[in-house]
A and B are shown apart, each in its own frame.
Chain A
Amino acid sequence: EKLGLGRAALPEELAAWDHDVRPDGLGLPEGSGDVLTGEELFSEHCAVCHGEFAEGVDNWPKLAGGMGTLDRDDPLKTVGSYWPYLSTTWDYVHRSMPFGNAQSLSDDDVYAIVAYILYSNDLVDDDFVLSKENFTEVELPNAGGFIIDDRDTTELPLFIREPCMTDCKETVEITAHATVLDVTPNDTTDDAPAAGAAEAATAEDPAPEVAVAEAAPEAAPEAAVEVAAEAPAQTAAADPELVAAGEKVFKKCAACHKVGEGAKNAVGPVLNGIVGRTAGTVEGFKYSKPMQDAGAGGLVWTPEELSGYLADPKTYLPKNKMSFAGLKKDSDLEAVIAYLSTLGQ
């Protein structure tokens, strides 16, 4: 029996709030967007957290990669490797992204960004255009990777049982200790001594969001070691193979940094003559305050300094503008610096 409370919703109100999109395409608006437009938008709106290549920065979610890792230790769950439906991506980007400025993207912008996320996962070519018309034709790799909760048949028969009360087992051994990992925050007991510090222990791994749980204990020390990896030694003579390898690595940089004759500043400064240059001195580029200060303080981009910076830009120079997560492999660092060394003024 109705109470007659509330009032009828107006069409404008429904249009303003009813934005959800379903896997069958219900709710998608008219529109389209291409990969290259998406790449620009992604760089502008998304890369600060998700990385230029959707590879993720710090603990923010990685959106690309991870194919074939779901049955391994610490699977990497991305739009490409895990998400079953593309509509989820469209819906979430449209309503909740960018973080801190939700619902600011146009429908076409969202189509373009979703197209770029597909591209970053090697699921479409760079000339791909995503639209309302072809949207449901895109099937994500893990679409068939889900089953509906089966605990009723796989678990309840095992766990609905008479519990053992005496002589339940003969021996008991401790097999794992939380204190070995030492990742519990300090000062958590009423007055017990503080446990050791463990911040940053899992910077590489922890799940985005609270999924968290993915932070496998074993991963913690490794990640810490990786961050602390020392810069590789530099050789003076340019090794052609190394330079060639470095040119490939440089593709990660090329979205933001232009090189060669006639290159102009882009998202990042021109890198011609970078090796040996004083930091923060390319004319016409608006550097962050920390980078300007570093240059004024005498920082010169020697191979050693570049190696330290490129391995972990945020730690090397906090609050600088470059939203790149860093090169994790020493061999990549060595190669890209060898390549940069060949670029004249």
Chain B
Amino acid sequence: GPDPLITEIQPWAQGLGDGVDATPYGLPIRFEGDVVRRNVGWLTADTISSINFTPIHALDGTITPQGCAFERHHSGAIELAKEDYRLMINGLVETPLIFTYADLERFPRETRTFFLECAANTGMEWAGSQLNGAQFTHGMIHNMEYTGVPLRLLLEEAGVKPEGKWVLVEGADASSNGRSIPLEKAMDDCLVAFKANGEALRKEHGYPVRLCVPGWEGNMWIKWLRRIEVGDQPWEQREETSKYTDTLADGTSRKWTWVMDAKSVVTSPSPQMPIKHGPGPLVITGLAWSGRGAITRVDVTVDGGKSWMPARLAAPGQEMAVSRFYLDHVWDGSEMLVQSRAIDSTGYVQPTKTELRDIRGLNSIYHNNCIQTWWVKANGEAENVEIS
């Protein structure tokens, strides 16, 4: 019969909506209240030193809204006002300097879009399929448009001495989260950012100032950046020795594994995004990114990798930024083993989990960029599985 939503006059078509200023800073409409960050309680001892996950399954496009971009804190998200903010540059420089927030705003500025992926993203999946949802398997990532000052300009202002080869970057929070970065990277594309997606950084992402280290693991993107020291050797701090190192099967561990390899994931359909419409036209979509360059192509399979189809990129890939892909598929209603495979501008093709395990074993924890499999059943529900 006729649809009462059409044939009957609805309240929203008759009455009035909210006036302007009802919500001076807008939030998503209440119907989208489940598109939120979530954590996994058993992973960590306390939420103060923990992580949550971006709801990538429910988002589209490429830009992650700040309000649902994942958080990772080592000693909690601190509140640091712009007027209390100081940035120190010291060590092997001609003049150790102090900058205020207002000083930073006077340097020439850049705006660029970068992904930030935690090195532990997908880490729970090394030993086997464990978490059932793209949010949990791949949600330690966000992609934002940052505005800030090239780190190179700040270092040049202080004058790096010839013997300077490394910089130590650290935050103002109790964890300080120190990391050593080669001077070459610091002078290349690192950004001292104070805006994301056009507005101030959120507290949980390091307000008022964080470091962007494009293409490199998220732990290096120091939040509440307060000090940069130039030195002639790396510092070997906690976050680059005891953590964020990759233990191989023989017990030795890789260190300085900074670059995030090419990776992709189908965000829908997926365990949190079952197919509800039955057979027929189906949009298969997902995200792809590479720390080594731009995404040039993404392939999708629905038969577990027997055959692949090139997906459509929403826009040409950008260096160190997330790409959105779509495969406009006609689903016959039978079960599928859905995967995506990213290819970047270096020619690197995202490997299978088996291929990575053959090289790295099961104890790597970090840097799992393997192909992900969703088993989509005939009823449209999907599950995280591994396949032969």
Contacts and interface: CB of A to CB of B under 8 A. Distances in A.
A152 B273 CA distance: 37
Given A71-B250, A149-B256, A217-B130, A91 B237 contact: yes
A136 to B, nearest CB: 13
B246 to A, nearest CB: 8
Interface in B198-227: 226-227
List of 10 A-B pairs having minimum Cβ-Cβ separation, nearest first: A213-B123, A71-B251, A172-B304, A59-B45, A70-B251, A178-B384, A102-B174, A176-B386, A9-B96, A178-B129
Interface in B33-49: 34, 38-46, 48-49
Contacts of A166: 307-308
A253 B269 CA distance: 54
15 contacts: A3-B107, A8-B98, A13-B98, A75-B363, A85-B236, A88-B236, A148-B256, A155-B261, A156-B348, A158-B359, A163-B299, A184-B133, A188-B272, A189-B272, A213-B120
Interface stretch (A116-124, A192-200, A271-279, A336-344): A192-200
B88 interface: yes
Contacts of B174: 96, 99-100, 102-103
Interface in B236-262: 236-238, 241-243, 245, 247, 249-259, 261
Interface string A59-77: 1100000000011011101
A311 B10 CA distance: 62
Interface string A3-43: 10111110001100110111110000000000000000000
A74 B363 contact: yes
Given A17-B227, A58-B45, A207-B365, A179 B236 contact: no
Contact of A176 (B124, B247, B359, B385): B385
A77 B242 contact: yes
Interface residues of B, number: 117
Contact of B44 (A23, A150, A206): A206
Interface in A127-156: 145-151, 154-156
A172 B383 contact: no
Interface in B304-331: 304-308
A169 B339 CA distance: 14
Interface of B: 34, 38-46, 48-51, 58, 72, 74-75, 88-91, 95-100, 103, 106-107, 118, 120, 123-124, 126-133, 135-136, 153, 156-159, 168, 170, 174-176, 178, 226-227, 229, 231, 233, 235-238, 241-243, 245, 247, 249-259, 261, 271-274, 299, 303-308, 337, 341, 343, 346-351, 355, 359, 362-363, 365-366, 368, 375, 381, 383-388
Contact of A59 (B44, B127, B272, B306): B44
A261 B186 CA distance: 65
A96 B256 CA distance: 22
A35 B166 CA distance: 35
Contacts of B231: 22
A208 B45 contact: yes
A208 B304 CA distance: 35
Contacts of A96: 74-75, 174-176, 238
Contact of B307 (A84, A167, A185): A167
Contacts of B58: 190
B54 to A, nearest CB: 13
Contacts of A85: 236, 241
B248 to A, nearest CB: 8
A147 B90 contact: no
Given A20-B235, A148-B254, A217 B128 contact: yes
B136 A188 contact: yes
A7 B350 CA distance: 47
Nearest to B249: A71
Contact of B251 (A74, A75, A185, A188): A75
A151 B257 contact: yes
A8 B94 CA distance: 10
A210 B130 contact: no
A211 interface: yes
Contacts of B124: 212-213, 215
